Amino acid sequence: MFKTLSGRFLILTIVFVMVAEVFIFVPSVARFREDYLNARLERAQIASLALEAEDMISTDLEAELLATAGVFNVVLRRDEVRQLMLSSSIPSPIFATYDLRNPTAFELIRDALACLVEPEDRVIRVIGDPVKQAGLLIEVTLPTGPLRDAMLDYGRRVLVLSLVISLITASLLFLAVRRFLVQPIRGVVGHMQSYAAAPEDARKIITPTAGVSELREAEEALQSMQTQLTSALKQKDRLAQLGGAVAKISHDLRNILTSAQLFTDRIEASEDPTVSRLAPKLVRSISRAVNLCETTLAYGRAEEPAPMLEPVLAQTLIDDVVESESLAVEDGSIVITGEAPTDLTLLADSEQLYRVLSNLTRNARQALQTARRSGHIWLAAEDLDTSWQITVSDDGPGLPARAKENLFTAFQGGTTKGGSGLGLAISAELIRGHGGALMLEKSDETGSCFRIELPKS
């Protein structure tokens, strides 16, 4: 019970009420002591009236009057004359004197606490104003034992009353918390558990009903999240089915295109001028289609294998990419160069990093070729404090606006006309596998620049 929200509210309420009662008890017990002493002064004054009515009273009657007043002696001062009205033997010397004519709150509290913590019965003198102004002052001596007992009894009654008030208050708060907070929260938790069991079922989405503003906001936020998640799951399921179908189609289409590619090799040997002129274009088109099918099949697999990290010399890797991609530029209109510090060694999977750099360089080359313009492509690597950085930049026409919006999204972020966008999506995935990031640093009419950051640890 004490681990529940309502149970903790119950305990905290009892504790806080009791703490509040402690702060109330201290001044109230001081007031009780003052009233007790004033009552003794009044009784003593009334007892002294018997002496004024008769000049002489018996010893037994005097003792009875003093016992009734609860004091040892009564002194009344009138007209600057101090008169001992009633007296008896005092069992011990006077311990302290307390003046109740103009006490401060601090003095009352201090004296009350001192009386509570002092277990020994002592004799004290108390001075006060007589009732009905029957003199200048009245002074009595009395024991502290009965006073302390009365104060303790008063404290016990206050404690019991405080405990009863605490229990009643805490019980009411407990019921209120359960009704207005705990039950709605349990309802939200129940909806979450029900939804988690079948997130595709739109009927499981919560309907906000809470009357408390904060809980209502939580229910509305949960409803929005569940609605979006259900929609995303349905879309993901449809995409998974579509992906399976596309993979099957790509597999069969690749086989068909591979056979067609074998026939185009023979067509290229034809001496017919028209055939010779069109055959290379046909070969390139079929090669691109085969490559797209293979890339789609590769992307359709669960995920790329984890990188095998090993020391890689940056300059050697860049040179391999430059040499490979330069072969595709027959007329020399596009210059591809690479530069890195000779001793710069990266910790990476050389095969995967080669694929990324090759893909970025190929995209830049194809962008220049599509725009039918000459240009320059630069590959560079540098050593930073916490990472290694590799950039692939060009002075081409820049990326289309649509490509920038969905740059690393498969089938949406193609950088060239007719491109699938798989290359950049796979490249970004490979770099994330290294714990790094692939990002577009800039792209405008002066060219584009992609930056790869690989962490050193």
For residue 5, the Cα-to-chain-centroid distance in whole angstroms is 19
Look at residue 15 and give its three-state secondary structure: helix
Who contacts 454 (Cβ-Cβ below 8 Å, separation ≥6)? Answer: 346, 347, 348, 387, 388, 389, 390, 431, 434, 435, 436
Q: Are residue 335 and residue 442 in the same domain, yes or no?
A: yes
The band of 413, judged by pLDDT with boundaries at 50, 70 and 90, is very low
Q: What band does 418 get if pLDDT is binned at 50, 70 and 90? A: very low
Q: Is there a single domain that holds both residue 356 and residue 435?
A: yes
Residues 260 and 315 in one domain: no
Q: Which domain holds residue 224?
A: 213-300
**Contact at 8 Å (CB) between 32 and 151?**
yes
Longest CA span, the chain: 161
Whether residues 325 and 405 share a domain: the answer is yes
pLDDT tens digits, 67-114: 888 888 888 887 667 777 778 888 889 899 999 888 898 999 899 989
* Domain termination site, one of 151, 169, 187: 169
Spatial contact of 121 and 144, defined as CB atoms under 8 Å apart: yes
Structural domains in the chain (count):
3
Q: Are 428 and 438 in contact (CB under 8 A)?
A: yes
- Shared domain for 219 and 284, answered yes or no, is yes
DSSP string, 226-288: HHHHHHHHHHHHHHHHHHHHHHHHHHHHHHHHHHHHHHHHHHTT---HHHHHHHHHHHHHHHH
Do 114 and 258 share a structural domain? no
For residue 404, what is the domain's CATH number? 3.30.565.10
By CB atoms closer than 10 A (0-12, 13-18, 19+), residue 353 is buried
Note whether residue 314 is domain-resident.
yes
CATH at 282? 1.10.287
pTM of the model: 0.44
- Asked whether residue 286 falls in the same domain as residue 318, the answer is no
Query: What six digits make up the tokens of 397?
Result: 């026409």
Q: What gap in Å lies between CA 264 and CA 276, rounded to an integer?
A: 11
Q: Residue range 294-320: average pLDDT?
A: 77
pLDDT digits (tens, 9 = 90+) for 246-292: 666 665 666 666 656 666 666 666 667 776 666 666 666 666 666 66
Q: For residues 202 and 226, what is the distance between their CA atoms, to the nearest angstrom?
A: 9
Do 316 and 240 fall into the same domain?
no
258 with 370, same domain: the answer is no
End of a domain among 267, 300, 333?
300
**340 inside domain:** yes
The answer to whether residues 322 and 223 belong to one domain is: no
Which of 169, 194, 222 finishes a domain? 169
Return d(Cα 420, Cα 289) in angstroms, integer: 11
Pair (356, 283) in one structural domain: no
Report the C-alpha gap between 364 and 357 in whole angstroms: 11
Max avg pLDDT among 135-139, 156-160, 247-251, 282-286: 156-160
Averaged pLDDT, 332-353: 91
Does residue 443 share a domain with residue 410?
yes
